[in-house]
Structure 1
Amino acid sequence: MSVGDKISNAAEKAVGAVKETVGKATGDRETQADGAAQKNKAEKKQAGEKAKDAAKDVRDGFTR
């Protein structure tokens, strides 16, 4: 995972967490749900990138 991807995913996760918290604090369920969805999307992106990195490490181990 590139540094840019890590920063982008972390920022998206943070924005989602803030939206979720603001939604909870204001009683705005739509904002809360949007924030939770955005945070989950970023977490899934991070997991996918980590899986790609792990697969690349395995592949590189066989080609050495």
Structure 2
Amino acid sequence: MWLEADEVVVDALRDLRKGKVVSVPDWKYKLAVFGLRHAPRGLLQSVARDTRGRIGRDSQ
């Protein structure tokens, strides 16, 4: 999923000319951004909680 720097720059400059505030360079990343924006908040919170682990937290 790595991108070539030249391609990222070309995409970013194209989006800048279009007046876009945020530039997402590739369809794979656009799909990921779409999924994150439209996923249920509870799902995102549970995934984030699981990836951080329980270090320094009180058990519930």
Q: Mark yes or no: TM-score above 0.5.
A: no
Computing the radius of gyration from Cα coordinates, the structure with the larger value is: 2
Higher helix proportion (structure 1 or 2): 1
Higher RCO (C-alpha 8 Å, min separation 6): 1
**Please, what TM-score do these two structures have when normalized by structure 1?**
0.29
